Amino acid sequence: MSEPVPEGIIWLIFFLPVASFAAIALWLRRAPRLAGLTTVFAIALAFALSLYTLAEVIGENGVAVGFGTHELFSAGGLIVNVGARIDGLSAVMLVVVTSVSLLVQVYSLAYMRGDRGFSRYFAYMSLFTAAMLGLILADNLIMLFAFWELVGIASYLLIGFWFHRPAAAAAAKKAFLVTRFGDLGLLAAVILIWSRAGTFDIAEINSDVVALVGLGLFGQTTLTLFALGLIAGAIGKSAQFPLHIWLPDAMEGPTPVSALIHSATMVAAGVYLLARFFPVLEASAFASDFIAWIGAVTAVGAALLAVVQTDIKRVLAYSTISQLAYLMFALGIGAYPAAVFHLMTHAFFKPLLFLGAGSVSHTTNTFDMTKMGGLRRAMPLTYITFVIGSLSLAGIIPLAGFWSKDEILIDAWDHNKAIFIFGLIAVGLTAFYMFRVISLTFHGDYRGGEPPAPDEHGVDPSHPHESPRNMTVPMAILALMAVIAGWITFGGEFQTWVNGALPQFEEGHFEWRTGIFLASTALAVAGIGGAVLIYQRGLIDVAALRAAPLVAPIDRLLANKFYMDVLAEELLVRRLFYGGGARLAAVFDVQVIDATVNGVWRATFNLGRWGRLAQNGQVQTAAAGLFVGAAVIWGVVVIF
C-alpha cells in the first residue's frame, strides 16, 4: 500500500503537544507567557499537519492508511503494539480536535491571563490534546484504552484546575470516577475480545471478527458483550444516561476547558469509539437498540434539564449531553456518517457557545444568568456569535447544525419512528433552552454580575465590556465554522470519507426530505418563539407557572435532576457503599480479623498467665508433676 502520509507526520501530530507538555512541565513552569505560546505554537503546527493529513486522506477517499505496528512489549501470547491508523474518520477527528484546540488555546491566552496556574493550565491542555490525538490515532484497543484513560486524567486535572474550590475538587473526582465506571466496561471489552479473538487490532475486529460472527464461527453473545462493554465506556465518557451526572458538575473547570474537553472533544470520544467500532455495533442488534434507546432517552431528558438551569454553563452542559445523545442514537440506528457529521458540527458550535459563556463571565464574574441580562449592548460580538451558535444548535437552516441534525432525523425516520419522535422533541427543547439563555443573558436589563472573590482574579462587573481580541477572534472563527461547516455535506463527499473507515467501502450521499425539514424547523422555531415570548416578553410568569399544581412536581423533578445525582451520590455511594459495604469491611477488618489475630496472641499470653500459676514454687507440686508426667506418658503408651 502506498503511503500518502509519511508515518512520521502522523506521529509528529501526536508528539507536538506531548513535547509542549514536557517542555512546560520541566522548564517553563515559571514562564507562563512562554508556556502559553509554546502550546499554541505546537497545536497550530499539529493543526497544520492534520489538515495536510486530511487532505491526503481525502485523496484516498478516506480509506484507511495503515502503518506497520511497533511492539511495545510482549508477555507470552500477549503482544501489545503501538501503531497509528489514519482513515477518513480519524483524519476528520484530527482536524476537529486540533482546530478547536487551537482556537480554545488562543482564547485561553486571554481568558486565563493572570491566573496563578497559567503554565500549569497550558501543560494540562497540551497533555489533554496529546492524549486526545493519541486516542484518535490508536490502531488497537490497548492503545485506545490507554489514551482513553489519559484523556480522563487530563479532564480530571482540568476540572479540578481551581483545586482551591472544594466544588471543583469534588467535581473533578466525580467526573473521573463516573467515567471510570464506564471505563470498566471498556476494559472488560478489551479483555474479552483479546481472550476470545486474540487481537486488539481495531481493523481486525471490525472486519475479521465481525465476519466470523456472520459465519457463526464467533459467538454472537460474545460480540454483543463486547459491544456493550464499548457502549459502557462510551456512556461514561460521553455522559449519557445514567452516567451523565458528572458533566454538569464538570463545569467547575475553566470555561475554555469546558469548551474544548466537555463539549467538543473528550465527551465526543465516546461517540468516536462507537463510530470506530460501528461494524461491531451493526453486527449486534441488541447493542444497537440499546444504544439507540439510551441516546433517545438521554437526548430528551438532558434537554428537559437544560430548561431549568440558571447557570449558563450547566445549560450548555446538559445541551452537550443531549446532543451527544443524538449522536448515540444515530449510531444505534445505523446513521454512522450522520453521527460523525453531527459530531463535527457540534464540535464547532458548542465550543463557540462555551466560549461565549466564558466571554460573558469574563466581564460579569459569574455564570449565573439571574445576575446577567442586557449584555447584548456591552458585548455585541459575543452576542452575535452566541446567537449564531445557538441557531446552529437549534438546527435552523442553513447553519451547520441543521444539516447534520437533519441527516440524523432522516435516518431515524427510516429506521425507528419512535426514536424519531424523541429526536424531534429534543429539537424543540433545544431551541427553547438556548433562546431562554439568550433572553436571560443578553436581553432585558443588566442585573449586576458578581463581585470577584477577594483572592481571585477578576474584574469589576459593574461596567460590562467586550472581551479582548484574543477571545473574540476565536469565537468569530468558530461562528464562521458553525455557519459553513455543514455545507460540506452537499456532495456527499464527507460521508464518503467517513465511510472509508469502514471495512466495506460505501459511497456517501446527501439526502433531503422536506417533510422532516419542515417538522424540525417548525419545532425549532416554536422553541425559539416560546423562549423569546416567555423570557424576553414575559408572556408567562415563570415563577407562577413553576408553582402551578400540575407543573410543580415536574419542576421539582427537573430541579433535582431526576434525582439521579442524589441517587448516585447520596444513596449508592455514600450510604450503600461508603456507609454500608466499605464500613462493614473496615469494621470487619478491625473487629474480626485483627481482633482474631490479637485474640490469638492474647490467648497465648493469658495461657502463660495461668500456666505460670502451676509453677507455684512448691516443691510438692513439682514432685507431683514428676508423677503426673509419668502417668501421662503411661497414658500415651496405653492410648497409642
Partner 1 sequence: MDSVGFHLAFWSLAAITVGGALMVIVSRNLIHAVIYLILSFIGVAGLFLTLSADFLALVQILIYVGAIAVLMLFAILLTPHAIRDNAETPMRYPAAILMGLVIAAGAFVALETDWGAMRDEAIPAQARVIGESLINHYVLPFEIGAVLLTAALVGAIALAREDEEDVPIHRDSLAQESLAQEAPGGLPEAAVAVAPPASGPAAGPSSPSAGGPSAGGGA
Partner 2 sequence: MNGDGFPILSLLVFLPTAGALLIALLPSERVPTHALLGALPGNEAQRARWLALLIALASLGISLGLFIDFDRSAGGAAFQYTDTFTWIKADDVGFTVTYAFGVDGLSLPLVLLTSLLTTVAVLISWRIDLRPKEYFAWLLILETAVLGVFTSLDLLFFFLFWELELIPMFLLISIWGSGDRNYSAMKFVLYTVFGSAFMLVGFLAMGAAASTFDMREIREADLADAFLPVQAIFAFVLIAFAVKLPVVPFHTWLPDAHSDAPTAVSVILAGVLLKMGGYGILRLLFTIMPEVGADASLSLAILAVVSILYGALVTIRQTDLKRLVAYSSVSHMGFVLLGVSALGVTGLSGAAMQLVAHGLITGLLFVMVGLVYDRTHTREIADMRGLVHHMPIIGAVMIFAGLASLGLPALAGFVAEITVFLGAFSRHEVPTALALVGVLLAAGYMLWVLQRSFFGPRDDRWEHLEDAKSWWEYAPMAVLCGAIILLGVYPKLVMELFELGTQPIADGLQLVRAGLSDGSVAALPGLGGGGG
Partner 3 sequence: MTIALEEYLVVAAVLFGIGLYVALSKRNAIGVLMGIELMLNSVNLTLVAFSRFSESAVALSTQVFVVFIIAVAAAEVAVGLALAMVVYRNRHTVSIDEINLMKW
**Which residues of the chain form contacts with partner 3 (CB under 8 A)?**
612-613, 615-620, 623-624, 627
Residue 548 or 628: the one with the smaller Cβ distance to partner 1 is: 628
| Cβ 620 to partner 1 shortest distance, Å | 4
Pick the piece of the chain touching partner 1 (CB under 8 A) from 90-98, 174-182, 347-355, 620-628. 620-628
Q: Which amino acid is at 57?
A: V
64-71 LR contacts (CB < 8 Å, sep 24+):
64/203, 64/500, 64/501, 65/1, 65/3, 65/4, 65/5, 66/1, 66/139, 66/203, 67/3, 67/7, 67/10, 67/139, 68/7, 69/139, 69/140
Separation between Cα atoms, residue 33 and residue 633, nearest integer Å: 90
* Of the candidate residues 584, 585, 607, 628, the single one contacting partner 1 (CB under 8 A): 628
Question: Residue 634 binds what, of partner 1, partner 2, partner 3, none (CB under 5 to 8 Å, by partner type)?
Answer: partner 1
Please check whether residue 255 is in contact with residue 316, taking contact to mean a CB–CB distance below 8 angstroms: no
| Cβ 605 to partner 2 shortest distance, Å | 11
Using CB under 8 A as the binding rule, the residues of this chain from 69 to 88 that contact partner 1 are none
| Cβ 187 to partner 2 shortest distance, Å | 6
Handedness of CA 235, 240, 246, 247 (dihedral sign): positive
Residue 514 or 620: the one with the smaller Cβ distance to partner 3 is: 620
Using CB under 8 A as the binding rule, the residues of this chain from 445 to 464 that contact partner 1 are none
Residue 547 or 576: the one with the smaller Cβ distance to partner 2 is: 576
Return the number of other C-beta atoms located less than 10 Å from residue 637's C-beta: 8
Q: Identify which of 285, 276, 282, 260 has the alpha carbon closest to the alpha carbon of residue 347.
A: 260
Pick the piece of the chain touching partner 1 (CB under 8 A) from 43-51, 358-366, 578-586, 625-633. 625-633
Residue 514 or 616: the one with the smaller Cβ distance to partner 3 is: 616
| Cβ 273 to partner 2 shortest distance, Å | 15
Pick the piece of the chain touching partner 1 (CB under 8 A) from 17-25, 264-272, 376-384, 622-630. 622-630
Question: Residue 357 binds what, of partner 3, partner 1, partner 2, none (CB under 5 to 8 Å, by partner type)?
Answer: none
| Cβ 623 to partner 3 shortest distance, Å | 5
Q: What is each CA distance from 118 to 39, 113, 460, in whole angstroms? A: 12, 7, 21
Separation between Cα atoms, residue 384 and residue 300, nearest integer Å: 27
**Is residue 637 near partner 1 by the rule CB under 8 A?**
no
Q: H-helix or E-strand containing 608?
A: helix 595-614
Residues in a beta bridge with 311: 368
Separation between Cα atoms, residue 238 and residue 262, nearest integer Å: 9
* Of the candidate residues 455, 627, 638, 640, the single one contacting partner 1 (CB under 8 A): 627
Handedness of CA 453, 454, 455, 457 (dihedral sign): positive
**Is residue 618 near partner 1 by the rule CB under 8 A?**
yes
492 CB burial (10 A radius; 0-12, 13-18, 19+):
middle
Where on the chain is the footprint of partner 2 (CB under 8 A)?
Answer: 71-78, 142, 145-147, 149-150, 153, 156, 160, 163-166, 168-170, 172-173, 176-177, 180-181, 184, 187-188, 190-192, 194-195, 578, 581-586, 589, 593-594, 597, 601
Please check whether residue 132 is in contact with residue 97, taking contact to mean a CB–CB distance below 8 angstroms: yes
| Cβ 21 to partner 2 shortest distance, Å | 12
For residue 490 the three cell numbers come to 452537499
Separation between Cα atoms, residue 328 and residue 93, nearest integer Å: 17
561 CB burial (10 A radius; 0-12, 13-18, 19+):
buried
Question: Residue 75 binds what, of partner 3, partner 1, partner 2, none (CB under 5 to 8 Å, by partner type)?
Answer: partner 2
Residue 595 or 631: the one with the smaller Cβ distance to partner 1 is: 631
Return the number of other C-beta atoms located less than 10 Å from residue 514's C-beta: 7
Residue 579 or 608: the one with the smaller Cβ distance to partner 3 is: 608
| Cβ 222 to partner 2 shortest distance, Å | 11
| Cβ 610 to partner 3 shortest distance, Å | 11
**Is residue 605 near partner 1 by the rule CB under 8 A?**
no
**Is residue 548 near partner 1 by the rule CB under 8 A?**
no
Residues at the contact surface with partner 1, assessed by CB under 8 A? 609, 612-613, 618, 620-621, 624, 627-628, 631, 634
